[in-house]
Chain A
Amino acid sequence: MTRSLRAVAAAAIALCAAPAAAQEPAASSGTTFAITGARIVTLAGPVIDRGTIVMRDGRIVAVGPDVSPPEGATVVDGTGLHVYPGFFDSASQLGLTEIGSVAATNDFAEAGDMNPQVVAIAAVHPSSDHLPVARANGITHAIALPARLGGGGGGAAPAIIGGQASAFSLAGWTVEEMVMAPSVGTVVVWPTLATRGFDPATSSPRQRPFDEVKQEYEKKVASLEAILDAARRYREAAGGQAASGVRDLKLEALGPVVSGARPLLVYANAERDIRNALAFTAREGVSMVLLGGDESWRLARELAARAVPVILGPTQALPVRADDPYDTPYARAGMLREAGVEVAIASFNSADSRNLPYEAGHAVGYGLAWEDALRAITIVPAEILGLAGEVGTIEPNKRANLVVTDGDPLEIRTAVMHVFVNGVPQSLSTRHTRLYETYRARE
């Protein structure tokens, strides 16, 4: 490369870097913010028609109709606007994948079948372009799932234990700034019995005998049972400490699961898989959260009876079976809720995380109460994953993760006016808006 070319390249890098830096959050802890005169949907009590929220050091310190902003606070005039708890994408691949078809940008799955020691937050990329995009639509915190989702078919079979799912804020320069909880549970991708597959050798569909598939499945379940059993013995023998001096990070990582402190987050979609997973966790005496749950509505009563909560995948999806009604994916959240199941809705994605409020909104037209839809992307997942003390409602002492809109946030025409993450207002500029401006300016 010649000297002049190098100079041009350096200039180009500087140009690219400048706008990117500009949109990163201002690191301004210690600042007090207040939103005044807004309609506040706290989800912790009745709606406050006209009230004020005060935030300091990242937390909500006061909320109510009679609260006034303290001296020196930066005040956002919320007149005519609506404030909601920041949305929680409780099952996502945010930060773990940038472009699915570019392998180098995918970092959501480890090799091998059993990776309980792997923690997703370690792989979250703070500069992912998807984070500002999701954030600008009101998603203030998310779970990163370490798992290859939607396995089967072609490609490598997904790991059975993908790793530990992590909760993090969608703002921060580093992972350390962003992390809320390194582990909210251990992800299990339930092995599925798929006789129909793809043969890469002949590049054609292939049908496998059911017996063979079933044997393979039973082996996988047995191996899952074995590792939980080993974790139990490890825990008893070591009492959490390694008496022998030999530590096994895998078995150690499963300690909170076998002790019941943290749930297994079981990703399963087909009715049979869900049924099998329910039976397995009952047998093992571990607590379970169902992830995905395409056909969970078929087992709504069982899920309610077992008090197994469900983090549903997107409503914008096709029915699973050829003869399912077209609206099954829209209606399943409502059907589960009606049966008394705790329902959260999540994107299971990174680029599409921004659509989370609409995924919930679509369920409202098909049997889910509006407030339940809002709760499905705020407080319910927080409760399911043990984060209700931190996020999910607008209450003093919780993280000041807020979204301010000009209307119903589940409605696609509503605009997001302000987003606060950890008490700091966020830039709403994203890669999308930058591209929009770039091409709008084109002569």
Chain B
Amino acid sequence: MLPFVRRVCLVAGVLALTATSRPSAEAPRSFALTNVRIVPVSAPVIERGTVVVVDGLISAVGPSVAVPAGVWRLDGDGATVYPGLFDALSEVALPASASSTAAAPRAAGGGAQPPSAPVARGPGDRPASTPWEHAADALRPDDPRIETWRSGGFTTAMVAPRRGLLPGQGAVINLAGERAGEMVVRTPAAFLMTFDAGGGFRSFPGSLMGAISYLRQVHLDADHAAAAEEAYAQGARGRARPEYDRTVRAVHESRAARRLTLVPAVTAAQVARAVRLGREMQVSVGVYGAHEGYAAAPLLERADVPVLVSAKWPEPGRDADPEADQPLRVLRLRDKAPSTPAALAAAGVRFAFYSDGLGGPADMLAGVRRAIEAGLSRETAVRALTLTPAEIFGIDDRLGSIEPGKIANLVVVRGDLLDKDATVTHVFVDGLVHEVKARAGQKGRDARPDRRPTRTTPAEGATEGGAR
């Protein structure tokens, strides 16, 4: 389409940029979004105002700001603009082998335990450990899921590998870009740790107690190795050469940098365990899953642990036996899990939502609506999709709200973002507008992901009464 035609549209005063799926070089990275309702998240709502973006950064926000000369003027026609939405833990843009839920059991070991891997016999074999791997180094900008999520208003995600005991390190990325490097907002953004080696009981550790003892050992080894390397660097003569161990080195570096360590925890007991282990290992812990967070809110508040709440509320699987026993424990969790965000908010716990394998943005926002029905305020819900995750990952200085100086990740919506019939009309990532594909992620539910062999992760297992 010719730029000339586009200009005509704009002149017509309707915000109807019909951009190609990839923004062309002519698309403006400087523009003024006028006549919009602004939800800055960090400040009160501006009923009618203007957002000015210059070179991909927000330069001014307010009810009456001067539009600099030379920037394009886009009339919002009364639509609402929010900060771009943030999925706090995702596998978008990662190859299937690095993610957990998308991977077939054992078939893809995420580098941790490929099928041909020798069976681990003890902690010295460093089983299911790839903490040196960075999601940022594995990004696939051509992943079609990027567009699916972006079309639903999600401009940002923290993506991380999740297979193995020490799966690797996550990165916050913007959901647009031709090259992996331009997508990355911050890396590493989080350090992942789980209790599931995924190797069955034949390989160490085949049990929860084995997994925890291993993680303890690795953290102790990290202390020792750091001290030994330091001493060796001071004077090598007469000293035994410390062994190079990339697992231990990555653990040590992450801990020294006070990086957020994300641990899966669904039940209150698992939350308590994560908090205790974090304290013991002297790492700053965040938990993800947290469906029983309604019963753990005071503990989380006391320990100042941020929480990533899975928006995939527990429900019987599509393939489940319709007459299967439904224990009260499971029914209670199904019933009360959506009240977790409200309980966390009331207790003053920082929390953000994450997609947890949901098929797309419509499913995720439907999950957030259930939390609202269960008592969460809309304001807090929007914050948990924007500014709070940015705070949790230490990037609230660059995105998460509509403020001057921040990255121009914006979503323009007809109606209220969290209403069922809201329509995302435009998504800006780094100041570039992106076409919203024909309601793909808008009306009704998202297309279901392919049916895959099911294998419950520890988090899901706990929600639906599975193993472990």
Contacts and interface: CB of A to CB of B under 8 A. Distances in A.
B200 A204 contact: yes
A320 B325 CA distance: 9
Nearest to A198: B467
Given A204-B455, A207-B455, A322 B328 contact: yes
Nearest to B461: A205
Contact of B323 (A204, A208, A272): A272
A429 B454 CA distance: 54
A202 B328 CA distance: 30
B106 A202 contact: yes
Contacts of A208: 319
A321 B321 CA distance: 15
Give the residue among A205, A211, A272 with the most B Cβ atoms within 10 A: A205
Given A202-B106, A207-B454, A321 B317 contact: no
A210 interface: yes
Contacts of A213: 321
B322 interface: yes
Contact of B105 (A195, A204, A211): A204
Interface in A39-59: none
A197 to B, nearest CB: 11
B202 interface: yes
B209 interface: no
A371 interface: no
Contacts of A204: 105, 200-201, 455, 467
Give the residue among A203, A207, A210, A323 with the most B Cβ atoms within 10 A: A207
Contacts of B465: 322
Contacts of A211: 319
B327 A207 contact: no
Nearest to A209: B319
Contact of A321 (B200, B325, B454, B467): B325
B50 to A, nearest CB: 53
B415 interface: no
Contact of A205 (B106, B319, B467): B467
Nearest to B324: A195
B327 A323 contact: yes
B2 interface: no
A262 B313 CA distance: 52
Contacts of B317: 207
Given A202-B106, A204-B455, A205-B467, A210 B327 contact: no
A322 B202 contact: no
A207 B456 contact: yes
Contacts of B329: 322
A432 interface: no
Interface in A181-206: 193, 195, 202-206
A206 B455 contact: yes
- Chain B interface, >50% SS class: loop
Interface residues of A, number: 18
Contact of A195 (B320, B328, B455): B320
Contacts of A205: 456, 466-467
Contacts of A320: 325
Contacts of A272: 323
Interface in A260-277: 272
Contacts of A209: 319, 451, 454
A210 B200 contact: no
B202 A203 contact: yes
Interface in B434-468: 451, 454-456, 465-467
Given A204-B105, A207-B317, A321 B466 contact: no
B334 to A, nearest CB: 14
B321 to A, nearest CB: 5
A321 B328 CA distance: 10
Contacts of A210: 319-322
B321 A195 contact: yes
Given A203-B202, A204-B200, A207-B454, A321 B327 contact: yes
B325 A207 contact: no
Nearest to B464: A207
Interface in B308-338: 317, 319-325, 327-329
B210 to A, nearest CB: 14
A195 B327 contact: no
Interface in A203-259: 203-211, 213
Contacts of B328: 322-323
A204 B202 CA distance: 10
Nearest to B201: A203
B365 to A, nearest CB: 28
A209 B321 CA distance: 8
Interface of B: 105-106, 200-202, 317, 319-325, 327-329, 451, 454-456, 465-467
20 contacts: A193-B321, A195-B320, A202-B105, A203-B200, A203-B201, A204-B105, A204-B201, A204-B455, A204-B467, A205-B456, A205-B466, A205-B467, A206-B454, A207-B317, A207-B466, A210-B321, A210-B322, A320-B325, A322-B327, A323-B327
Interface of A: 193, 195, 202-211, 213, 272, 320-323
A-B residue pairs, 9 tightest by C-beta: A322-B327, A209-B319, A203-B200, A205-B467, A321-B325, A207-B454, A204-B200, A195-B321, A210-B321
Given A195-B324, A202-B105, A207-B454, 10 more contacts: A195-B319, A205-B466, A206-B454, A207-B317, A207-B456, A207-B466, A209-B451, A210-B321, A211-B319, A322-B328
